[in-house]
Amino acid sequence: MKKASVLVVEDEPLIADDIAETLEAHGYEVVGIVDEASDALEVCKTCHPDVALLDIQIEGPVDGIALAAQLSMPIVFLTSFYDQKTLDRAKLVNPSGYIVKPFNERDLIVNLEIAIARGRKPAKSKPVANEKFFVKKDQEIVSVSASDIVYVEAYDNYSTLYTEKEKYMISHTLKSISEKLEPLGFLRIHRSYLINFDAVDSISENYVYLKGHQVMIGKSYRKQFMESLSLL
């Protein structure tokens, strides 16, 4: 019986080659070895792998956890990071396995076999509306559902959350906000902007339009963003 096909996303070439050799020795088909999210999405479109093996710290603006939120096949994380913050983010995308480096061959194969056998409920099926955050507004702390956030704009060490009718300034960097929102369907399209993909109405050459708001697309983010779209 033919083994499953695997996509490997790893930014350390020697480790990537070692993984590929191990998988092929056990009969798996390695359909791609890439080091950033945009290339991973391209492989998924053309090769449709059965399972993805993802490092968390990869090249480009999108890390492995944010990439996982865009994939529908079972995923297994293979990473050096096991701090609580990283684990909490990883759990949001419902991985089928989590292997901490340095790994051994047995752990790798066992995790892949379990992932394939169990399958994985796509992360995108998780309702964004279930996620609620609390922000300061004047003298109150108010709740904001993730689904109500249209986009986030960064300014130095502060960020502003925009809904259709309100805006909230918070003392967090865009990077820290991205870690919480990207697994819920948000995309970084500029060094200063994070958007709610479900709120997108239309896209032009340089801008995304969301619920009456206009947000610029950064040059270094455009390719990644356009490749994430399902075009008919």
pLDDT digits (tens, 9 = 90+) for 60-84: 888 899 899 888 899 999 999 888 8
pLDDT of residue 229: 74
Phi, psi of 109 (to 5 degrees): -70, -40
Over range 167-185, report the average pLDDT. 87
pLDDT at 126: 45
pLDDT at 232: 65
Give the mean model confidence (pLDDT) for residues 175-183.
86
pLDDT for res 8: 96
pLDDT, residue 225, reads 82
The pLDDT value given to residue 159? 93
pLDDT tens figures, 104-132: 999 999 999 998 887 754 444 444 445 78
Residue 124: what pLDDT? 45
Three-state SS letters, the chain: CCCCEEEEECCCHHHHHHHHHHHHHCCCEEEEEECEHHHHHHHHHHHCCCEEEECCCCECCCCHHHHHCCCCCCEEEEECCCCHHHHHHHHHCCCCEEEECCCCHHHHHHHHHHHHHHCCCCHHHCCHHHCEEEEEECCEEEEEEHHHCCEEEEECCEEEEECCCCEEEECCCHHHHHHHHHHHCEEEEECCEEEEHHHEEEECCCEEEECCEEEECCHHHHHHHHHCCCCC
